Structure 1
Amino acid sequence: MTTTATTITASSQRSLDAVLLQRRGSVYLPDSASSTAPDVLALAGVTLLESDLIDRGYLISAPLREALAALPSPALATSGAALLAHLDADLGADRDHTPLFRRFPQSVPADTLAFWTDRVLAVLLQAPEQPCVLCGTRGSVHPVSPCAHLVCRACFDGADFSACPICHRRIDPADPFLRPASARPAASTWRALPTRLRVLSLGGGPTARQSHAADELTTLLDRTGALSPQDADDLAVLLDGAGDRETLDWLPAQIPGRETKARVLAWLLDYRACYPTTLPAVTERITTATDVLRLLAVRSGGDPGLTSAVRITTVPRPLRRALLQALDGLDPQFVAEDLHRYPLRWKAAAERLHVFEYADRFPRAALVFAALRSTQLGDDDLSTGLRATARATDGVDAGGDTIRVPLWASQVETALAAADVPGALAPLSRRPGELVRRLDHLLRLSGPNGTEPVLAALRAAAPRVAPAVLLSALGAVRSRTQPPLPGRVFFPKGETARAYITQDERAPLDPGAAEEATRILTDEVLRRAGALPTADVAVLDAELDGIIAPFAERTASRALVTLPRGSELPLPDGRTLRLFLHWMESAESGRTDLDLSVALFNERWEHIGTCAYTNLRFGNDAAVHSGDLTSAPPPHGASEFVDLDLDKLAALGVRYAVAVVYSFNNIPFVQLDDAFAGLMARDEPGTTGAVFDARQVEQRYDLTSASRASVPLLLDIPGRTMRWLDVAQGVTGTHHAVHRHADDLAVLAEHLTALFASGARVSLGELALWHAAARARSVIVRHHDGSASTYQRQPQEDATAFAARIGAPHTDDPADLRDASLAYLLRGDIPLPAGAEAYALHAGGLDAGTLRLRSASDLVASLAS
């Protein structure tokens, strides 16, 4: 069956139904169900809808099918069309996916160099109204529109090419060169359902939609770390759908995520008519000066992570006073510290806040800005007031010509530079998160015999640290007792997910100190997990060990399957893996040429080949490229594909395949109207079926960053695994091609593989085990081969000992999976009782209406102290 993509009106923000469908797998129907039995026509309509959903890799639950069948025919048609449109947008099936060679992979030239030579000869030697320089045929050469290249209709088949054969730019669809393509052989009637299969459930009507939107909003507001771009987009939709600026009973007193808080506070301030209600709520939730700067950045259209500067827009007078009042109520030393982190931005913000205009009303706020700007003190009223405020403020010096406030960071850095561990611990103890981040450095400076003060400070700080910081330190410290990695990898905060690699020159940690620090951090994780609701039985999949606990989510790509960076999973079954890329130019970008490429390496990371526009076929068709399209004008854009035959690649000695998307002419992805890429698992020959089959899409991710090169994934060919990298590769200049960057790609992929395989990042499997051990009396571990082991917590056994025993060869009496009220699964393929808490990478048949579904980020955020 051929599936027709259904489109929905594009907007900059998805609808509330689309957000809840993606997050919960729930479908919401109008309150127009018939009280009579469904007629034959309605049942036939539901059957057709089911067929279309299966062709996209989705099933529907029995209650949803019954509710759909009870709808009047017009409502059923409307709801079904909207549902398919939302799913097509998530999958990328709402776009045209015609490759350069329309009979790809069959018609792709075997000799890329010969094909290129023919194109060059045609450009250099072909003249109008002359025989073809390639075949000598008269009357077959005509210009194509709009590029005007002279093309021989005998040499280049207009039924196979979808663009100009010479420059590969899209041409006018009405150009006579383009002829109807022959029909592709139909795919087999049986096609496997994808690994990411999901059963859609009945969400309910408008009332249930509102309630579930409120639940999802609460979940995002509880997150402790920065939201991913996808979650940030969802937050905006959920605020509009479930938030209320006039009644703020839904707004928590504390929003732990700093960037999330900035987004919410900026949303509250969108309407000045609501200021009497929203201004007090905003000022109550400002706890640091940086909260104010984040808020001003979001109001001005910038990033709450402050990764780039933005011009601060005008601040209304009531808001100006409220923000200065909030700053005035904070500790001046901490405010001064925050101001010195972003001095230029704060100086610009001070102009918008008119700080000195309100110096009498908010003297402490004026004081710290005077220190930041090194305001010269004289005999004027402002200087007199600043000196008086300084004398009343501990630690502030106004004895000279300027205000001087001692900075916390300078105390720490001075002590560390002098190897003064006690001197560094004193200020660090006031900021436990910073102490834990610098744990490795402090342990190294202490030496093998002086680590106890650091460990004592760690014991005191650990209960007050954000869970993401706790987990990051845990993985980093424990890995420092292992052999050193090939290099040190950093993921610095920024607009793009860049990985920086340098030589690791750190001295090794004392094994005893590293072991004790690891124990302290692990015990703290178990303590926090033990404070959560308990369960009799928990079940967890051993396959979760390959998934990394989420980190650096700020730069995570929007994706069909939310897979944390660094995670490794078995490849889905299929004869062929098909990588795909689609993009569409914008007025800002102009003509844009993106290229989908694959670099191939042996087990020593030596480059042995590529499959790209420079080499359309590798080996004995082990890798085949669909051809290089060099423009993507709207409304259809352009698509490229690469087919990978894993068996043939392995036979040719390929160990690793690194997928990469380059912007050939160096246009940032963010400037495009649309750009995404992904992976399909093909279970029929590549010459049959649609080139883009929504049912076979296993992953689809957006290209929206400011980078020009994206490295989404790495394939281990013999191991049949895929590691999700989702990083940007640094490139300069233009005319990017994979063979020019092969060495850099090898370094990047090798170091990232070593990092994520080393245990330096906590896995989601470990995190699930700690949750289960601390919260359940019995833990069932499901293994890769389908077997299961049960571990029961003994009466006097603490969570630490129980967690250490889970996974041991000796097991206890088996427990019943049907009793599990905690579940941490790779796929949601087991029945769970109503009210159970569950995480599943692939939700499968888990129903958000009866279960408390959790994301990987939620598992981390739940450990907030």
Structure 2
Amino acid sequence: MSWDLEELVVSRTLRLPDIEGPGGDGVVATRQFDAILMSVGFKLSGELVARLSGSAAGAVIDMAVRVLPIVRRMAGAHVEHNVYFQDFPANVPDTVEFWTARLLDALGGESAAAAVSEGSALGVSNLLALPEYGRYQHGYAEMVAAHDELIESVRDRVTVLHLGRSLEDEVSALYLSLAGRATPLGAEDLPILRELALRCASGPQPESIPVREHRAIIDEVRLAAGEKLLAGTVTDVLRLACLLSDGDVSLSTPTRFRSLSRRSRRGLLAALDAVIADQPAKLGDVAAHREAWKRLGERLHPHEFPQWEHAATVFEVARGERRARSFMSRFETLLAVDDVLGAAQLLRAAPGLLFRSLDRLLRTATTDAEQEAVLAAVESTIGVVSARVILSVREHVDNRDGVAQRVFANRLGRGRVQPDGREPIDASVLDRLRVLLDVELKRRLPAPARLVIDPDAVDIALPLGGKAISGGLGVLPRGSVSPVYGERLRFFVYWREQSAPTDFDLSALLLDQDYELDGWLSYTNLTSVGGVHSGDITAAPDGASEFIELDLDKVVAHAIVPQVNVYSGEGFDEVAESFFGFMLRDGDQRGLPYEPRTVRMKSDLRGAGRVALPLVFFRAPSGEWRVKWLHLNLRGKPVFNAVENNEVSASALARAVIDRRYLTLAYLARLMAEEVTLWDGRSFDEPVMFIGLTRPEGLPEGSQVFTPENLSDLIPA
């Protein structure tokens, strides 16, 4: 698959590559460009307006023709969003009345009447057999004509596009940012990194590549160029082999290895040989993926390369001909006899495993000497542990007491909740551990002369993981909290099937203070207190949309949990296209069901589950509404998923994420600076480090800016 480089730059950085061509009078064309952008919630920065105004009008028009489709896709405005009920959100009928009307209409036709009669004889009514159910009864133009024009509001979203460098420089910078990121990219971003790595192979390279999946992608390019690989473990080599066979670089699913060229086999075996020659103990990692190594050995033919005898030992271990105990095996043996001192000493040689096992070690430690040994091991090794692991442990410590439920999410985003039944850890030990972690993080973080943070950004969660988080407009990391500005909340789903009839159902759970069911909105309950549903669409060969709107002043529930259910047909990873998002409007704003200027968040729907839980809205103690990002899904059933059937699981996940304490930008800011300035729209005379939801205009040259597009760059290596 090939990506448009300009679209990648614009969508990932909100920068327009610098315009090429002669100067001229582009003032009028620039104004027109800016006006059209504003209709979909975007705007040119002052610097970009000045640059385009001094360019030839034709060049500005050419840029507008390229950029407008990009921003329309970003906001979800590249498709026509129709609704079943033409006047939505007005005149939505009661569910029973609506179904009754459709039944009566159906009885007017012989074939439909027969189908209804057959179902009635069995005590059921098949809605899908009704000719007017689940299909648009009017065209898009008819629906548009039935709605007033949107009244602008100062609260409408305005996403500013800034002036970038040349396309080549922007692509290189994007590659360096993705490759050198300290947090894993989502599944949809790995192929993008792969293409950028190929395009930027001869250009600047990142100083370090902390994430192993990213390293495998870069190594694929280095292997093709005949350069030395970056692999530092046997598992790194296995990831690269999976990538060469178009397999799963995360090693979550088995890869069917292909026959590889002699050059590729030589490169992989040479890398394996170097790893084992340097650290023979890494043979212990082979057992974790024994079967994969066996299959790979059949493709690499290590016996043909006797010069790399160390590489051959990897396959001997995989086949059981040689024994190599892993650190985990030795660790388990020591803990089996409660030898905490020995386990702590052992894991000094495996700092990553030490930090991942800290909770278990501290639970097992029963004496002051054992606790001191564990903390001493942490202090002596923390300098070589990645900041992402340190931050993850720090967040874990904050949730070690006072949180009744534990929430788990695998790399596919599938969530589950279970009670926390672990033995407690002494509070004084946890406090000492916090200090150790904070001191090390403070040492690694920059110390800006002046740190400025947008108050609306202080509760954004640190992006410690991203594999199951889809990109999009206004998307924040799991656990992030944002204020909800607006009187009416409207969320939406759009999908377009690939090859089979597909029915997605947009629904919402309404939960009380105890997270018990207080009602729901779906195709089975079109109206509820403060909310309405736009109507059920049951197939989407040309694309379909569903909406739910809630008047937040009338909603009595404590929490609102939107969800998208795959009722039948293709899943989120199988449809041609699907996305979810939400809009906010003031009371006097009408407009179309879908108005891109009011879209606050829009993200692709992806994942192996059949029930998507993107986020949850809830009341803060002050009574104001907030939104918290979930990025979770439920496995669901193959067909007929419905909000009424997954209420317990969905509400439990929502409550667990709301209750969990996530590390936020506020925490990071406190480590970086003793004094933090909350931004109030003012300008600055000296360069600052700015953290916010959007980049403000007019920052002095030399300022550092961190927004959701590059928050991961705040996490040190």
TM over 0.5: yes
Structure 2 CA distance, aligned partners of 1:364 and 1:523?
40
Aligned residue in 1 for 2:283: 336
**Structure-2 separation of matches of 1:353 and 1:658:** 50
Q: Does residue 1:184 correspond to 2:146, yes or no?
A: yes
C-alpha distance in 1, partners of 2:114/2:455?
67
**Aligned residue number for residue 659 of structure 2:** 754
Aligned-residue RMSD, C-alpha: 2.9
Deviation at 1:123, TM superposition (A): 5.0
SS in 1 for 2:450: strand
Task: Give 2:20's aligned amino acid.
Answer: D
Deviation at 1:855, TM superposition (A): 2.1
2:184 is the alignment partner of 1:226: yes
- The correspondence for 1:427, drawn from 331, 346, 354, is 346
List aligned pairs for 1:41-60, cutoff 5 A. Answer: 42-60=26-44
Partner residue in 2 for 1:202: 163
Determine if the alignment matches structure 1 residue 671 to structure 2 residue 579: no
Residue 293 of structure 2 is aligned to residue 309 of structure 1: no
One-letter amino acid of the structure 1 residue matched with residue 592 of structure 2:
A
For the pair 1:473 / 2:435, whether they are aligned, the reply is no
Work out whether 1:566 is the aligned partner of 2:471. Answer: no
Alignment pair present for 1:741 and 2:646: yes
- How big is the shift at 1:170? 5.9
Say if 2:407 is the partner of 1:489: yes
**Aligned-pair CA distance for 1:189:** 4.4
> Which has the greater radius of gyration?
1
Q: 1:491 to 1:704 in 2, by over 3 A?
A: closer
d(CA) in 2 for partners of 1:80 and 1:419? 68
Q: Is contact 1:545–1:763 with CA below 8 Å preserved after alignment?
A: yes
1:777-796 equivalence runs, <5 A = 779-782=675-678
Q: Distance in 2 between matches of 1:461 and 1:148?
A: 64
Match of 2:703 in 1: 836
Alignment correspondent of 2:7: 18
Within 2, Cα distance between the matches of 1:354 and 1:604? 61
Q: 2:97 aligns with which of 108, 111, 114?
A: 114
CA displacement at 1:680 relative to structure 2: 0.8
Superposed CA deviations along residues 649-691 of structure 1, whole A, max 9, x for unmatched, are: 0xxx3111000001001632100000001011123557x3122
Q: SS in structure 2 opposite 1:598?
A: strand
Change (3 A) 1:73 1:824: closer
Q: 1:170 to 1:369 in 2, by over 3 A?
A: farther
Q: Report deviation, 1:721.
A: 0.5
Match of 2:314 in 1: 368
Q: Does 1:262 align with 2:216?
A: yes
Match of 2:431 in 1: 515
Q: Distance in 2 between matches of 1:216 and 1:564?
A: 19
Match of 1:708 among 610, 615, 620: 610
Question: Partner of 1:602 in structure 2?
Answer: 512
Query: Hey, what's the Cα distance between the residues in 2 that align with 1:823 and 1:654?
Result: 36
**What one-letter code is carried by the residue in structure 1 that aligns with 2:453?**
L
Match of 1:380 in 2: none
State the match for 2:523 in structure 1: 613
The Cα shift of 1:424 comes to 1.2
Indicate yes or no: 2:539 matched with 1:625: no
Tell me if structure 2 keeps the 8 A contact 1:112–1:614: yes
Q: What amino acid does structure 2 have at the position aligned with 1:407?
A: S
Shift in Å at residue 236 of structure 1? 3.7
Deviates more, 1:339-348 or 1:329-338: 329-338
Question: What percentage of residue pairs aligned between the two structures are identical?
Answer: 29
DSSP 3-state at the match of 1:725 = strand
Aligned amino acid, residue 696 of structure 1: T
1:565-591 per-residue CA deviation (whole Å, 9 max, x = no partner) reads 0111101x223111011000002xx01
1:325 aligns with 2:228: no
Matched, 1:654 2:523: no
Cα distance in 2, alignment partners of residues 685 and 112 from structure 1: 26
CA distance in 1, matches of 2:258, 2:355: 37
Alpha-carbon spacing, 1:632–1:267, altered in 2? closer, same or farther (3 Å): farther
Q: Aligned letter for 1:509?
A: I
Distance in 2 of aligned mates of 1:626 and 1:216:
40
1:250 alignment partner AA: P
The answer as to whether partners of 1:294 and 1:305 remain within 8 angstroms in 2 is yes
How far apart are 1:647 and its partner, in Å?
0.5
Counterparts of residues 345-364 of structure 1 (less than 5 Å): 345-358=292-305, 360-364=306-310
- Alpha-carbon distance in 2 for matches of 1:711, 1:305: 23
Instruction: Tell me how far 1:188 sits from its aligned partner.
Output: 4.7
| Match of residue 298 from structure 1 | 243
- Comparing 314-323 and 640-649, the one that deviates more: 314-323
Distance 1:268 1:113, change over 3 A: farther
Partner of 2:669: 768
1:808-862 alpha-carbon deviations (Å, 9 max, x no partner):
xxxxxxxx95335222234434742211112234xxxxxxxxxxxx7221111xx
Q: Which stretches in structure 1 are left out of the alignment for 5+ residues?
A: 1-11, 135-146, 152-163, 270-274, 375-401, 774-778, 789-815, 842-853
- The worse-fitting range, judged by mean Cα deviation, of 224-233 and 86-95 is 224-233
State the AA in 2 paired with 1:765.
A
Instruction: Give 1:390's aligned residue.
Output: none
Do 2:475 and 2:602's aligned partners in 1 also have CA atoms closer than 8 Å? no
Report how many residues are paired.
703
CA offset at residue 28 of structure 1?
Answer: 2.6
**Separation in structure 2 between the aligned mates of residue 182 and residue 89 of structure 1, nearest angstrom:** 20
1:326-369 per-position Cα deviation (integer Å, ceiling 9, x unaligned): 111223744432221112212111111112333x2222222231
- Distance in 1 between residues matched to 2:431 and 2:138, nearest whole Å: 67
Which amino acid counterpart does residue 767 of structure 1 have in structure 2? L
Note the C-alpha offset of 1:598: 0.5
The reply on whether 1:550 has 2:463 as its aligned counterpart is: yes
Shift in CA distance, 180/53, structure 1 to aligned 2, threshold 3 Å? closer
Please, which of 5, 21, 30 is the counterpart of residue 32 of structure 1?
Answer: 21
Q: Matches of 1:203 and 1:64 in 2, distance apart?
A: 9
- Counterpart secondary structure, 2:391: helix
1:237: Cα distance to partner? 4.7
- 2:227 aligns with 280
- The alignment partner of 1:554 has SS state of coil
SS at match of 2:66: helix
Matched-pair contact (CA < 8 Å) for 1:327–1:335: no
Shift of 1:705: 1.6
Moved more, 667-676 or 445-454: 445-454
Q: How many angstroms apart in 1 are the aligned matches of 2:480 and 2:604?
A: 18
Are positions 1:540 and 2:501 aligned together?
Answer: no
Whether the 8 Å contact between 2:566 and 2:611 is mirrored in structure 1 is: yes
Alpha-carbon distance, 1:474 to partner: 1.3
* Structure 1, 309-318 or 83-92: larger mean CA deviation: 309-318
- With over 3 angstroms needed to count, the CA separation of the structure-2 counterparts of 1:13 and 1:660, relative to structure 1, is farther
Deviation of 1:599 after TM superposition, in Å, equals: 0.5
Q: Is the 8 A contact 1:223 1:256 kept in 2?
A: yes
Contact 2:452 2:691 in 1 (8 A): yes
1:640 counterpart residue number = 546
Q: Which residue of 1 aligns with 2:132?
A: 165
> What does residue 159 of structure 1 align with?
none
Question: Cα distance, 1:722 vs. partner?
Answer: 0.5
Preserved CA contact (<8 Å) 1:780 1:817:
no
- Structure 1 residues 172 and 349, CA, compared in 2 at 3 Å: closer, same or farther? farther
SS of equivalent residue, structure 1 residue 566: coil
Find the aligned partners of 2:629 and 2:127 in 1 and give their Cα distance. 42
Match of 2:120 in 1: none
Structure 2 portions without partners, runs of 5+: 118-125
Shift of residue 491, structure 1, vs aligned partner? 2.5
Q: How far apart are residue 594 of structure 1 and its match? A: 0.4
> Which of residues 623, 630, 636 is equivalent to 1:731?
636
Does structure 2 retain, via aligned residues, the 8 Å contact 1:15–1:237?
no
Output the amino acid matched with 1:487: Q
For normalisation by structure 1, the TM-score amounts to: 0.76
Q: 1:855 to 1:117 in 2, by over 3 A?
A: same
Instruction: Name the amino acid aligned to 2:382.
Output: A
Contact 2:182 2:713 in 1 (8 A): no
Are the equivalent residues in 2 in contact too, given 1:487–1:502 (CA < 8 A)? yes
8 Å CA contact 1:356, 1:366 repeated in 2: yes
Identify if the C-alpha distance between structure 1 residues 570 and 104 changes in structure 2 by more than 3 Å, giving closer, same or farther: same
1:123–1:310 distance in 2 versus 1, CA, 3 Å = farther
- Tell me which of 622, 627, 634 is aligned to 1:722: 627
Q: How many angstroms apart in 2 are the aligned matches of 1:256 and 1:215?
A: 17
What are the Cα deviations for residues 784-824 of structure 1, in whole angstroms up to 9, with x where unaligned?
Answer: xx599xxxxxxxxxxxxxxxxxxxxxxxxxxx953352222
The offset of 1:609, in angstroms, is 0.7
Q: Does 1:818 align with 2:685?
A: yes
